[in-house]
Chains A and B, each alone.
Chain A
């Protein structure tokens, strides 16, 4: 779930935070609007003061899920207006993992243009699944170029960040992204491992002929574990059915 505007963020906070937590955030959003310097101490304290509850109780373990502290940090950043363009770089550089994810999550609400793309790129280079997921919000999905986005989506699959929730993934899929994920699926099968089901819609968007032929050839591989891995993997895809329909 991605909050759609700052009003929605306030509603989420008021629904879940304690009365003290709400009051603290109201005071701090006013304080940072008056005095930018106040954000250096307020920003790290959001988790302690407002809370860290998930905003989506249905799937609290999903690294894409927003938490109360993400919402609180986004509201602090919104409150400083245009000055946020400069300020987020220091907050990110000196931020712990939770502060960094707060900065990344907030980007879609901030008047920063393309200036925060380097922060997104930095987070995607890490191996922290929470940071990678936070980086790949709507802001990044609209701004990363095709090559960077394809690498980011592959990295998600690699480290276990779900890709199906990525905003607008279908529209941003390119033939190269489909090809990369098909090669990934083939590597997994050849290693006798499972393939996450969510890669197939991306592969099937621009089905790469050669790579898919190689995956199919695994069904007849002399090593039985590889045949079984191919059968398991292809059960989640439409490719086998469409191939058989064409015969």
Chain B
């Protein structure tokens, strides 16, 4: 099984996770820029973070045969810091020009504030300008209302709905998102958001078209193998291998392929060769 996890925060994960993900079939990922759990106080922290997403994480992933891409953007929580918002928005064009940047994201609402709305609108405009798809986060609290407001802003932005994925859906938001023409993302988490069995019931109703499934694994209680576990739950529920491949590979390739910047031929698929001299092992060559 080949897996493309379209939303996973590897910066917050260990190298063991990369190894386990590769063993579960993960061949490609998108890492959206997000909140690191503690507020940053300077735009320079964002510069280092974006450089890490484009440099070190891509290298770390490549050593396990995983093609690492990222989405660049200002997350909703930190959009509430007025000075930071303006400074980060100002450096985004430089980063949105880069290879392997396959979307603007993750952007959207957290607490439905004016600062969040301003950042969302400005970044939708940047997506149009840089011809990139968009990855939109939906709030944890007051989710259905927040999702509807998000969809209105997306519709007003002029970004075509098929170039937008609205993420972290549940049973109460999915119909609005599907009707809007946007893609619907589902985050499969151990305790919150959505689990794999509930997700299977959703796709039994809505099908697999315009749907993405991700682990959104990060620094919280989360599981980077959730996409593989979801595929197994689909198999148990009677979905075919083709249905699963469509959902966990072809769909993300189709969605992020709209950027024209997927790099699926890279990195070197010969993991034994790249593993030799692997500096993730602090430089120690494997025995032999």
Report A's interface with B, CB cutoff 8 A: 40-41, 44-45, 47-48, 52, 61, 93-100, 126-131, 155, 158-161, 192-194, 196
Contact = CB atoms under 8 A, between A and B. Distances in A.
A61 B62 CA distance: 13
Nearest to B288: A194
Tell me the interface secondary structure of chain A in the complex: helix
B97 A96 contact: no
Contacts of B285: 160, 193-194, 196
B288 A96 contact: no
B226 interface: no
7 contacts: A44-B97, A61-B273, A97-B59, A127-B280, A130-B59, A158-B279, A160-B285
Interface of B: 47, 51, 54-56, 58-59, 91, 94-95, 97-100, 260-261, 266, 268, 270, 273, 276-280, 282-285, 287-288
Given A128-B55, A192-B287, A159 B279 contact: yes
Contacts of A160: 276-279, 283, 285
Given A41-B97, A94-B95, A194-B288, A158 B56 contact: no
A96 B279 contact: no
Tell me the interface secondary structure of chain B in the complex: loop
B287 A193 contact: yes
Given A61-B268, A194-B288, A96 B98 contact: yes
Given A44-B97, A44-B98, A194-B288, A96 B280 contact: no
Contact of B99 (A47, A93, A159, A196): A47
Contact of B51 (A61, A94, A98): A94
B277 A161 contact: yes
Contacts, number: 77
Given A41-B97, A45-B97, A47-B99, A96 B283 contact: no
Nearest to A40: B94
A130 B278 CA distance: 11
A96 B55 contact: yes
A160 B287 CA distance: 13
A96 B277 contact: no
B196 to A, nearest CB: 34
A161 B279 CA distance: 10
B267 to A, nearest CB: 10
A225 to B, nearest CB: 10
A97 B60 CA distance: 12
A128 B260 CA distance: 26
A191 to B, nearest CB: 8
Contacts of B55: 96-97, 100, 126, 128, 131
A104 B81 CA distance: 36
Nearest to B94: A94
Given A40-B94, A97-B55, A100-B55, A127 B99 contact: no
A199 B279 CA distance: 18
A94 B47 contact: yes
Contact of A155 (B99, B100, B266, B283): B283
A221 to B, nearest CB: 17
A194 to B, nearest CB: 7
B47 A93 contact: yes
A28 B67 CA distance: 29
Given A45-B97, A97-B55, 5 more contacts: A96-B99, A97-B58, A128-B279, A129-B277, A160-B285
A130 B287 CA distance: 22
Of B91, B276, B285, the most chain A CB neighbours within 10 A belong to B285
Nearest to A193: B287
B268 to A, nearest CB: 7
Contacts of B99: 44-45, 47-48, 96, 98
A100 B97 CA distance: 15
A42 B258 CA distance: 21
A104 to B, nearest CB: 13
Nearest to B277: A160
